[in-house]
Amino acid sequence: MTTIRPSTLIPLLLLAALAVLPFAAESYYTAFFARVLIYAVAASALNLALGMGGMVSLGHALFLGLGMYSVALPAHFGIDDGWLQLALCVAACGLVGLVTGAISLRTSGIAFIMITLAFAQMGYFLVVSLKQFGGDDGLPIAGASRFFGLELASAEAVYGAAFCLLLALTAWVARLRVSPFGMTLRAGRQNARRVASVGLALPRYQLAAYVLSAVLCGLAGMLLANLNAYASPSSMSWMVSGELIVMVVLGGMGSVFGPLLGALAFLGIEELLKGLTEHWMAIFGLLILAVALLGKSGIAGLLARLDARVPARRSPRLAEGRA
Amino acid sequence: MSASLLIAQLLNGLQYGVLLFLLAAGLTLVFGIMSFVNLAHGSLYMLGAYALAVVSGATGSFALGVAAALATGIVVGALLEWAAASRLYRRDHLDHVLATFGLVLFFNELTRMVWGPQPLFVALPEALSGTVELMGFFYPAYRFLIIAVGLAVALGSAWLIHRTRLGMLIRAGSVNPQMVGALGVNIRLLNALLFALGAALAALAGAMAGPILSVQSGMGEPVLITALVVIVIGGIGSVSGAFYAALIVGLTDTLGRTYLPLLMREFASREIASAAGPALASMLIYLLMAVVLALRPQGLFPAHRG
Amino acid sequence: MNSIGKTTAVALGAALMLAGPARADLTIGFSAPLSGPVAAVGQDQYDGFMLGIETLGGKLGGQKVTVLREDDQLKPELGNQIARKFVDHDKVDAVVGLGFSNVLMASLPRLVESGTVAIATNAGPSVLAGARCASNVFSVAWQNDGSAEAMGKYAQDAGYKRVYLMAPNYQAGKDFIGGFKRFYRGEILDEVYTAVGQPDYSAEIAQLQAADPEAVFVFYPGGMGVNFVKQFSQAGLAGRIPLLSAFTVDGTTLPSLREAALGTVSGAMWDVGLDTPGNAEFIAAFTAKYGRAPSAYAAVAYDAARLLDLAFARAGGDRTALAAAVKAAGAELKSVRGPFHFGSNNMPVQNYYAFETVKQGGKVTPRKIGTPLAGHADAYAAQCAM
């Protein structure tokens, strides 16, 4: 038996705490942490493209928005069947992800950042001008999504759904990282030429990861729409895309627990700073700068450094491979 | 659609284009040579506008205000280069995006802390506060100054890049920065110089825009995104590419905004046209960029790569 | 007591003070955009509200009051979160502010569900005035269309035959143009919708010039308004074509516009040019305390404090009676804007004035030139089932 290292133990303890939170805390905290969990799902989705595939997408808010409107638009016409909304969300995010991904992946580096931003901006302007669906004012959602007997009406229900989704996603990502698919993606991030020379069609792997990431981000959007009972184009603005990137990097790029740690730290720090001063954004900006200057291993990287202090029975290299 | 109106719109597009060029020139240089993505470039534009508003407000002299904006650009640019950018050149673009995103938040809040959330007042220079009549049309005289300054900077940068030793280093640096360093050029000094120069141009753009726009916190972001579109269309690292692309974007945006809704009325009902026209017009430059990138990922006028 | 003990005691005392503010009888949750591009609007509301409470001796309805302040950053999602915090966590007696229409709409579900009295000081979206009206949600500000309707009436009365309309391409923009058209019967040369947050309007102004209208009506709030009015004046059109507007030239933008705004006419329910009872005192108190002139946003929030004072006095300790008390207090309120009461849909019934920006004693200031709509109720009340 191996000892559990701090880099795994601390996030697991955190997950355990989050699992009991809705039973212990009042509704406001449940709603706040539901938001954290939803953003953690969205950041996990982005982590697939960004952390594993090295695709710096500054347009993931587009998929968050698509997810929100896949709930809001059917609800607007009185359709609250969650499965139908889910199908719509998967189809819309999948299709848009496929088309924009195929075009965007023709470029790389800054051009990739810019073209993903461009697609998101187009989506934003489109939704803002849709007067019959609320436009800039957004669209209230009268009836929450219904999955068989379960209705995502209360903060607790959304919390539960988001928690389960995040748990499943985290477990899946942990496996995906070390699967041939994940290995190819991560190798491509480090050296695309070598991957190509081995005979793997990297662009296909990247496109698949991008589309997956888009669809998962859409699911986060569906939950967010249910939590707020409201869909708004402001969730599609480029600042939200930027915030998602910050969460991923803050947590630790490509790591399994990074997105959760990042989302928690980002929204938590924002909440704390706001209580201190109305000029919290200046402090927050400098914090982000510091994170960027200090390197991108993020919080997950800090925890990994803790590991080094805990004596391990087995060789560290082996244990690292399992992380 | 009279001819004089078309001329006025072309002038508007030209003026918007050269203003974009002032921003894009620095951005593309810093990107081409240091391979550094600087989202905080828009903050320098904002600081330039604030410097103009504060100094010209206190002294009553527009020229002093512009000088203050240039000085602000150089000083803040050099500081930024020293404190943040120079430590990030070797990292990948993601760290650049992150660091400068943080700086954007910081600068926006800083201006709000110092000057409050209200927009600042900026007076037009007295001599240029009137209008010029063009075939029965009134055009603001001040906008001619913007066009003149923009074109002068374009000519000046062409001279700098093609006729001077510094320009030679810039051209060499955009092709192979390591080689330039290996040949004994102080690449750190060159980087700092270029960064400050780009920052000064951004601040100049802000100062020129100050009298026509609302000088307030956050004014840099919309124009920064457009400037990024410009450098991607023009080909990253190419100053002449940035110039042509700035004019293309300026004209596309201006003419698209004006004529697209009118054009759509020919094909669709007025109701649909007045809803879809503006939406399409605001997407136009992004559409343009997506098409350019899809067909020519390296941009329309790329800097020559070795 | 040694110095360490002393420090500990002081620290403990400070911690206690932070943990629990002096126990108050009432808690009010105030939310507004206090950071970001429209922070000026939020700050004015907060300052106006606090001034209102201060002039009432720090009490509302005779009870001591604590105001909790939250910044919605103009993000609907945060508006929703803040509503939950006020209702579920802080258990406030009333919520005031609620930000812009989109933020308000996002906060609405939790507020309506909880029944907590909510008073909007910055918005009155048509949906809230109509189909989704609620007995515990009030707007003490305006129904969004009001100022635009007033300008439509003004243009009609002034006899302008051909007008040109412009607004940003979003919901509020379309509402304002709709409001203008509801009262204007003449020819509309064109309706132009521009991108949200667009900085430069030179192209649109050239088109406008070519269309040669008798008057122009625009709705450009905040920075967009500063941009548009500056550029309109620089194109030499100020003085040649009358510029009518709503939420464009107001207390927050006038200081940065100054002479560029001369001659423009604005529709509003309040501005510093009003000579209603109590207004001069309010303006003087605000200017003395904050060193700047108040805007309509500050005036509305000031009224909100005085409205709550009356309502809490009426309801006594009974929180379930508060909504009805607010409604009744509306008719009692001596608002700085003049006549005021709540309509059947909890939207204000009030005068909308026309203000012309003029130069008086070297100062650029709005002057009342008429009351296009007196005792005006909105067009959506019929859709409200209350």
In percent, the amount of chain B with pLDDT more than 90 equals 41
Which residues have C-beta within 8 Å of that of residue B104, sequence separation ≥ 6?
A285, B39, B40, B42, B43, B220, B221
Inter-chain residue contact C174 with A131, CB threshold 8 Å: yes
Q: What pLDDT is stored for residue A315 in this prediction?
A: 45
Which residues have C-beta within 8 Å of that of residue A35, sequence separation ≥ 6?
A224, A227, A267, C77, C81
Handedness of CA B110, B113, B116, B121 (dihedral sign): negative
Residue B12 with chain C: CB contacts under 8 Å:
200, 202-203, 206
A276 interfaces chain C, CB cutoff of 8 Å: no
Q: What is the mean pLDDT of chain B?
A: 88
Interface with chain C: mutation pick from B15, B126, B257, highest number of C CBs within 10 Å: B257
Inter-chain residue contact B212 with C197, CB threshold 8 Å: no
CATH, domain range C146-268+352-382: 3.40.50.2300
Q: Which amino acid is at A126?
A: L
Of C100, C105, C89, give the one whose Cα is nearest residue C137. Answer: C105
Residue B122 with chain C: CB contacts under 8 Å:
256
B137 interfaces chain C, CB cutoff of 8 Å: yes
Contact, B224 vs B23, CB < 8 A? yes
Inter-chain residue contact A115 with B289, CB threshold 8 Å: yes
Q: What pLDDT is stored for residue A2 in this prediction?
A: 56
Among partner residues B130, B131, B214, which is closest to C226 by beta-carbon distance? B214
B94 interfaces chain A, CB cutoff of 8 Å: yes
Q: pLDDT of C127-178, one tens digit each?
A: 899 988 999 999 999 998 999 999 999 999 999 999 999 998 777 788 899 9
In angstroms, rounded to a whole number, what is the distance separating the alpha carbons of residues A276 and A270? 10
Inter-chain residue contact C170 with A137, CB threshold 8 Å: yes
The enclosing H or E element of C78 equals helix C76-84
Alpha carbon of A81 to those of A70, A78, C292: distances in Å? 11, 9, 54
Q: Which segments in chain A show pLDDT lower than 70?
A: 1-3, 296, 310-323
Question: What would the 3-class secondary structure string for chain B be?
Answer: CCHHHHHHHHHHHHHHHHHHHHHHHHHHHHHHHHCCCCCCHHHHHHHHHHHHHHHHHHHCCHHHHHHHHHHHHHHHHHHHHHHCHHHCCCCCHHHHHHHHHHHHHHHHHHHHHHHCCCCECCCCCHHHCCEEEECCEEEEHHHHHHHHHHHHHHHHHHHHHHHCHHHHHHHHHHHCHHHHHHCCCCHHHHHHHHHHHHHHHHHHHHHHHCCCCCECCCCHHHHHHHHHHHHHHHCCCCHHHHHHHHHHHHHHHHHHHHHHHHHHHHHCCHHHHHHHHHHHHHHHHHHHHHHHHHHCCCCCCCCCCC
Which residues have C-beta within 8 Å of that of residue B226, sequence separation ≥ 6?
B20, B249, B253, B285
Least confident among A67-71, A261-265, B241-245, B287-291: B287-291
Q: What pLDDT is stored for residue A3 in this prediction?
A: 67
Count of CB contacts below 8 A, A vs B?
130
Question: Rounded to the nearest 10 degrees, how much is the dihedral formed by the CA atoms of C29, B117, C124, C195?
Answer: -140
In percent, the amount of chain C with pLDDT more than 70 equals 94
A60 interfaces chain C, CB cutoff of 8 Å: no
Residue B106 with chain A: CB contacts under 8 Å:
281-282, 285-286, 289
Contact, B52 vs B65, CB < 8 A? yes
Residue B142 has pLDDT above 50, yes or no: yes
B101 interfaces chain A, CB cutoff of 8 Å: yes
Other CB atoms closer than 10 Å to residue C349's CB: what's the count? Answer: 19
- Domain C12-142+276-346 identical in fold to domain C146-268+352-382: yes
Inter-chain residue contact A56 with B97, CB threshold 8 Å: yes
Q: Within 13 Å, how many C-alpha atoms sit on residue B147's CB side?
A: 14
In angstroms, rounded to a whole number, what is the distance separating the alpha carbons of residues C118 and C327? 12
Q: With bands split at pLDDT 50, 70 and 90, how would you rate the model's confidence at B67?
A: very high
| Phi, psi for A31 (deg, rounded to 5) | -65, -40
The enclosing H or E element of C358 equals strand C348-360
In angstroms, rounded to a whole number, what is the distance separating the alpha carbons of residues C233 and C249? 13
Among partner residues C39, C207, C252, which is closest to B112 by beta-carbon distance? C39
The enclosing H or E element of A202 equals helix A202-228
What's the gap in Å between the CA of A27 and the closest CA on chain C?
Answer: 6
A128 interfaces chain C, CB cutoff of 8 Å: yes
Q: pLDDT of C340-370, one tens digit each?
A: 999 999 999 999 999 999 998 888 999 999 9
Q: pLDDT of C5-24, one tens digit each?
A: 444 444 444 444 444 444 45
Task: Give the three-class secondary structure for A246.
Answer: helix
What's the gap in Å between the CA of B147 and the closest CA on chain C?
Answer: 14
In angstroms, rounded to a whole number, what is the distance separating the alpha carbons of residues B87 and A30? 41
Extents of the domains making up chain C: 12-142+276-346, 146-268+352-382
In angstroms, rounded to a whole number, what is the distance separating the alpha carbons of residues C337 and C353? 10
Q: What pLDDT is stored for residue C13 in this prediction?
A: 42
Q: pLDDT of B14-48, one tens digit each?
A: 999 999 999 999 888 888 778 888 889 999 999 99
Inter-chain residue contact B258 with C204, CB threshold 8 Å: yes
**A-contacting chains (≥3 CB pairs under 8 Å):** B, C
Interface with chain A: mutation pick from B31, B41, B80, B105, highest number of A CBs within 10 Å: B105
Other CB atoms closer than 10 Å to residue C361's CB: what's the count? Answer: 5
Residue C295 has pLDDT above 60, yes or no: yes
Inter-chain residue contact A126 with B31, CB threshold 8 Å: no
B284 interfaces chain A, CB cutoff of 8 Å: no
Q: Within 13 Å, how many C-alpha atoms sit on residue C239's CB side?
A: 8
Q: What pLDDT is stored for residue A138 in this prediction?
A: 82
In angstroms, rounded to a whole number, what is the distance separating the alpha carbons of residues A20 and A38? 17
In angstroms, rounded to a whole number, what is the distance separating the alpha carbons of residues B289 and B260? 18
What's the gap in Å between the CA of B66 and the closest CA on chain C?
Answer: 19
Structure-token pair, residue C386:
């209350």
Q: Which CATH superfamily is domain C12-142+276-346 in?
A: Response regulator (3.40.50.2300)
B2 interfaces chain C, CB cutoff of 8 Å: yes
List the single residue in C with minimal CA-CA distance to B139. Answer: C235
Contact, A255 vs A300, CB < 8 A? yes
